[in-house]
Structure 1
Amino acid sequence: MTLRADILIVDDEEAICFAFKRYFESRGARVEVASSAADGLARYRDKQPDVTFLDVRLPDRNGLEVLDELRRDDPSACIVIMTAYGSLKTVTRAVNGKAFDYLVKPLDLKRAGELVEQALASRRAPQRAPGDDVRACGDIVCASAAMQEVFKRVLQVAQVDSAILISGQTGTGKEVVARAVHDHSRRKAGPFVAVNCGALPENLVESELFGYVRGAFSGADSDKPGRFESADGGTLFLDEVGELPLAAQVKLLRFLDSQMVERLGSLRGRQVDVRIVAATNRDLTRALEEGAFRRDLYYRLAVVEIALPPLSEREGDILPLARHFLARMDDDRGAARTISAQAAERLQRYPWPGNVRELRNAVEHAAAVCAGTTILPAHLPHAVQSGLPAAASTSDAQDLLDRYIQTLQPPGGQLYRSAVEPLEKALIRHALRQTGGNQSAAAEILGLHRNTLRAKIREFDLEQEGGQ
């Protein structure tokens, strides 16, 4: 990669400036370095660089204020904001200030190089009129780099009307993200209508979504608008869209192509102005292969995709989220409470299989049983105190099993053995660890005869783990 570009680095950390300078100069770029806001402004006005990397925390001024000043002086400036102290407020201000992009420390130099190439390309491309300013992202809370990327995508796509498909495990906050898209769009004054497609009885899906006219079926005594019409001028959020029956999928596809809905029993279409945001916790690619979800509908819904990481991959968000939930409960209670260091440690250690929803419920539990001003470990649910998740629900367990089976690719006729043997081995290993290697106790936990367990231990080569 050869970069014929003038680059300015504004950061008071010498190591970062040195790394940037060496990386970009080795690729043909000319690099200027400034360690303060004042020096950075002076060098920018003197050199007019193609791309500027600007740190948020500078010794003499806030980098976001410098961003505003540079953009006023030069509306075409390509400025990438850098910070180790990411927050939603920082992301929103950076986007409002028309930053080209946003990097979270520790920095990825390869990603920085990609941004320089993109910035150079954008300077050569025709410029669009800037969109409306955006506001804070409501109930979305983050500190992790992964969720800041989600915020950035939300703010970018909110200004267009393309369909969006949000994917993620149950409880990761798909509806919260959908609401954030709506709240930052031109539709924010219109309705936000949420529908859980999985909760609609199959025989009522079409009438609920598209409405019906009087006499359409037995009991249809009057006309009734559907959810599409209720969302006219706003956003329709279709949660668990993968659960829609095929007949409803056909009508949804027709709507996406025409923005027209037909009530059951009517031959007259109605024009509505609705943006579709869909969400799923299923693997829709598998549903495509099985014929349970239309391929053409999938491509129409997934114009923009937003993938939400599980909370276990966002450790930096756990405490900020917990404090956010606690503060909201305390607003209703009229008193502020804090989370002790010991309780915070338990929250950080727990794997959160139920994701953000489970964390919110855990904080609500703690707030309900805490009579004082500090949340202690004893106030947390037992599973969080112990660090061991409660048993998964049947649907969650089935989802995990389905995903496990999908990963298997055995030769013909070996699927059963390939699936069962690893599970047997894992169960036996778990029981042996629980009992400190005591085979009699492990056999009792597993409901096996001791001789059967001993044979399995030999079969799976687990003798070192089951010594008694």
Structure 2
Amino acid sequence: MINGHILVADDDTAIRTVVSQALSRAGYDVRTTATAASLWRWVQAGDGDLVITDVVMPDENAFELLPRIKKLRPDLPIVVMSAQNTFMTAIKASERGAYDYLPKPFDLKELVAIVGRALSEPRNRLPAVKDPELEGMPLVGRSPAMQEIYRSLARLMRTDLTVMITGESGTGKELVARALHDYGKRKSGPFVAINMAAIPRDLIESELFGHEKGAFTGANTRSAGRFEQAEGGTLFLDEIGDMPMEAQTRLLRVLQQAEYTTVGGRTPIKTNVRIVAATNKDLRISIQQGLFREDLFFRLNVVPLRLPPLRERTEDIPDLTRHFFQLAATEGLPLKHMDAAAFDRLKRYRWPGNIRELENLTRRLTALYPHDLITAQLVEAELGMDQPSPASMSDAHAGSLPGKAMTVGDEGGLMGSVERHLADLFKQHGDHLPPPGLYHRVLRELEVPLVSAALAATRGNQIKAAELLGLNRNTLRKKVRELDIRLMRAPR
């Protein structure tokens, strides 16, 4: 039994062979070609229930062919394959009406599954779309982790779904939010960002919803809030985990009813914005701690996107570094290049500050060194300054840490401390499990010495300590205040 007729276009004989074999085993009738011209003739003749095509063909780029195919046969699903695994490749495939995009190399089982889904869905779901002018490269990286992000973003561009972006500080959450806006259906509207951690708690509601004249002391005129400023566009709520509970309640009401009132106002105002939220916290833990509303979490977490830390995508470091060098050159700094050994050294670094730290490093290398070629020695000199060794952290904070130096992986260090703590707890409770909340108790006991050690190692410099810990500076400042940590003053 034939499940469908598939047209495959790729100038690589090996690709055509393995794709044809995999689809034939799955029960499909497959025709293959090495040229875009042959594919176009077949489509014109009405052949095929689905097209699989590479982007770069010897006679024509598939992105030039796709609009003609969609105009002639708008219901024909097209799966695009490409070795040019960039964000713009995924976006171009989506904007030109492709059903899905697969970066090479890909899993044959996944390809077969995509074909099955495409042929089983209603054919009228794929509208023909215009070819927009796409410029720049908002996101950089070809790693498998970033390919998944690109594919998810491409699917979200034509929707207004609420998106929750999670990831460590410095992973590029606002860049992703801006890409969703700039290449989405609301791109003609405003993009408005607000960082919850950077605004005093008593001003957040006014910042979000605006206030009327005389609403509170100092409110001498009416002020528009971020919802009003973002009308028709996208509102990016950064560090949403730092939003106070009373503001969470008002935000939930807005999401449920699509209207709000200003501070001091009485008349409800209708709102039409797309919400994109971001956090570097685990909001499920915040919910357990009573710090975040569970119903608001489910309203915001419609489409979750996790951005990988740089240590999980080290293969992207060369592309990112070259990108940052080029950005620096557009600002008037000399264009630098990096040798292979330097790239290898960058890949071995842990990057607690993620992409933001890498960008800062490349700018520093560009500004401080006259060399056109950045070597491993220069990189080592800068990374050695940025990353204190465990021993130096211990020496800088002598007497304030329990036991030995706080290192990961040795019996007397951080992991050993955790293991001893757990062993003592179980010993205290005999054959029974300790009471619930173990994670948070251990975290509280380790957080104070860890933050204190980072501050000591940087001689009280909160900016450097935040980079070392991989935290936002405002988040670190908040922790210092909440944990009542005594700040070390640098000697004069």
Same-fold call, TM > 0.5?
Answer: yes
For 1:126, the equivalent position in structure 2 comes to: 124
For 2:434, the equivalent position in structure 1 comes to: 413
Asked whether 1:111 is paired with 2:132, we answer no
Give the distance between the partners of 1:8 and 1:389, measured in 2 at CA.
Answer: 57
Deviation per residue, 1:33-80 (Å, 9 max, x gap):
223334444455557112222122334443333434433443222221
Q: Is the 8 A contact 1:166 1:308 kept in 2?
A: yes
Q: CA 1:104–1:386 in 2, change beyond 3 Å: closer, same or farther?
A: farther
What residue identity is the alignment partner of 2:249?
V
Q: CA deviation at 1:125?
A: 4.3
Q: CA 1:131–1:312 in 2, change beyond 3 Å: closer, same or farther?
A: same
Q: Is the 8 A contact 1:353 1:389 kept in 2?
A: no
Give the distance between the partners of 2:55 and 2:197, measured in 1 at CA.
Answer: 44
Q: CA deviation at 1:279?
A: 0.5
What residue identity is the alignment partner of 2:434?
G
For 1:200, the equivalent position in structure 2 comes to: 199
What residue identity is the alignment partner of 1:127?
R
What residue identity is the alignment partner of 1:276?
I
Matches of residues 173-212 of structure 1 in structure 2 within 5 Å?
A: 173-212=172-211
Q: CA deviation at 1:212?
A: 2.2
Asked whether 1:291 is paired with 2:312, we answer no
Give the distance between the partners of 2:201 and 2:363, measured in 1 at CA.
Answer: 34
Q: CA 1:331–1:250 in 2, change beyond 3 Å: closer, same or farther?
A: same
Asked whether 1:85 is paired with 2:84, we answer yes
Q: CA 1:151–1:350 in 2, change beyond 3 Å: closer, same or farther?
A: same
Deviation per residue, 1:200-228 (Å, 9 max, x gap):
22222222222222332333333322222
Give the distance between the partners of 1:340 and 1:321, measured in 2 at CA.
Answer: 14
Q: Is the 8 A contact 1:349 1:387 kept in 2?
A: no
Asked whether 1:165 is paired with 2:164, we answer yes
Q: CA 1:232–1:85 in 2, change beyond 3 Å: closer, same or farther?
A: closer
Q: CA deviation at 1:101?
A: 0.9
Asked whether 1:52 is paired with 2:73, we answer no
Q: CA deviation at 1:362?
A: 0.9
User: Which ranges of structure 1 fall in alignment gaps of 5 or more residues?
Assistant: 424-468
Asked whether 1:323 is paired with 2:322, we answer yes
Q: Is the 8 A contact 2:158 2:184 kept in 1?
A: yes
Q: CA 1:213–1:58 in 2, change beyond 3 Å: closer, same or farther?
A: closer
For 1:357, the equivalent position in structure 2 comes to: 356
Matches of residues 302-381 of structure 1 in structure 2 within 5 Å?
A: 302-333=301-332, 335-380=334-379
Q: CA deviation at 1:358?
A: 1.0
For 2:250, the equivalent position in structure 1 comes to: 251
Secondary structure of 1:80 counterpart? strand
What residue identity is the alignment partner of 1:179?
R
User: Which ranges of structure 2 fall in alignment gaps of 5 or more residues?
Assistant: 394-406, 408-413, 427-431, 447-492
Q: How many residues align?
A: 409
Q: CA 1:226–1:47 in 2, change beyond 3 Å: closer, same or farther?
A: closer
Q: Is the 8 A contact 1:88 1:136 kept in 2?
A: no
What residue identity is the alignment partner of 1:296?
D
Matches of residues 216-235 of structure 1 in structure 2 within 5 Å?
A: 216-235=215-234
**What is the percentage of aligned positions where both structures have the same residue?**
38
For 1:427, the equivalent position in structure 2 comes to: none
| Structure 1 stretch displaced more, 54-63 or 249-258 | 54-63
Give the distance between the partners of 1:227 and 1:197, measured in 2 at CA.
Answer: 12
| Structure 1 stretch displaced more, 144-153 or 39-48 | 39-48
Q: CA 1:390–1:196 in 2, change beyond 3 Å: closer, same or farther?
A: farther
What residue identity is the alignment partner of 1:126?
N
For 1:102, the equivalent position in structure 2 comes to: 101
For 1:20, the equivalent position in structure 2 comes to: 19
Q: Is the 8 A contact 2:97 2:129 kept in 1?
A: no
Matches of residues 423-434 of structure 1 in structure 2 within 5 Å?
A: none
Q: Is the 8 A contact 1:343 1:376 kept in 2?
A: yes
Q: CA deviation at 1:166?
A: 1.0
For 2:63, the equivalent position in structure 1 comes to: 64
Q: CA deviation at 1:268?
A: 2.1
Q: Is the 8 A contact 2:170 2:354 kept in 1?
A: yes
Q: Is the 8 A contact 1:25 1:31 kept in 2?
A: yes
What residue identity is the alignment partner of 1:363?
T
Q: CA deviation at 1:169?
A: 1.3
Q: CA 1:190–1:41 in 2, change beyond 3 Å: closer, same or farther?
A: closer
Give the distance between the partners of 1:133 and 1:251, measured in 2 at CA.
Answer: 40
What residue identity is the alignment partner of 1:162?
L
